[in-house]
Amino acid sequence: MLFLTITFAWIVIGVTIYNGYLTRVVHGRMTTKHGNLLTTENGFVFDTGANASFISKKKTGFSLFLFPTIVSDTYNFRKILPVCYAHRLQINDAVAFERFAFVAAPSTASGHEKYDAVIGMNLISKTNLYFSFVENTIDVLPLDSLFDVPSKAIVFEYKGTTKPTLSLKIDGLVIDDILIDTGFDNDLALDKDAITLIKTASNHSSNLITNKTIFASKKQIHYLIKNINIESRYYKDVAVIQSTRRLIGTRFFKRYNHMFWDSKNHKIYLWL
């Protein structure tokens, strides 16, 4: 009876922590590196394509094991990894996350080995974020904060709290369930049928590239489409990866100078 009581209590504690009911965010500003990913100068990548945060235990100090989980990467490679509790993760002098769950990253993780931590949607969803691609900064803001967004800003509305997806009209084709993935460094990832419909022989070039994930690597066809219409706006030289998953990545967002991520209202604002 005592064992069952302890087990039940541990499950309740684990679920409470995992769902972020105890999580606290210390707000402030970070400087980012140059490049397509949203990575801080000291190596923390903000990845909206990850529903959980993926962190080396040495970066969190003392951590407490909660339960095991199955982690899948972009190409459905899977590993069983421990979910742990961290008291605090310090990003820089200003920004920190406290009392949260994370997936303990193995030392053999290939694609993110150069990063100290992957900050996923379990933490991003607790904040609003302003990205300045001109000044290379990320402002971590309170969830109920307001931001002076220009009236001409482009607005994308997404579904889901830890798996943000949206629908886009691309060259007249409506494509649903596109994951917003700032850990993806191209414009788009689409399946073969969708790419066939939006590209023409005179409007693209292609080559074979190798993409890395947290667990492995895979060769994929990379298309550079000269002109493409996305939500009634034309974009040039759009990088599209052929994949079974549908993604919109940071290369697309960085076509603009500013992005405001409104977690509370599930909206993204982009402007020049």
Instruction: Determine the average pLDDT of the residues in 159-166.
Output: 96
What is the pTM assigned to this prediction? 0.90
Residue 157 has pLDDT above 70, yes or no: yes
Confidence category of residue 110, pLDDT binned at 50, 70, 90? very low
Residue 141: Cβ-neighbour burial (10 angstroms; 0-12, 13-18, 19+): buried
Beta carbons of 168 and 155 less than 8 angstroms apart = no
pLDDT in tens, 253-266: 999 999 999 999 99
Instruction: Determine the average pLDDT of the residues in 249-256.
Output: 96
Place of tokens 């990845």: 47
Instruction: Compute the C-alpha angle 191/192/194, nearest 5°.
Output: 70
The one-letter amino acid at 45: V
Token pair belonging to 218: 């895979």
Residue 88 has pLDDT above 80, yes or no: yes
State percent of the chain over pLDDT 70.
86
Residue 197: Cβ within 10 Å count: 13
Beta carbons of 209 and 220 less than 8 angstroms apart = yes
Residues whose CB falls within 8 Å of the CB of residue 209, separated by 6 or more in sequence, listed in order:
219, 220, 221, 222, 241
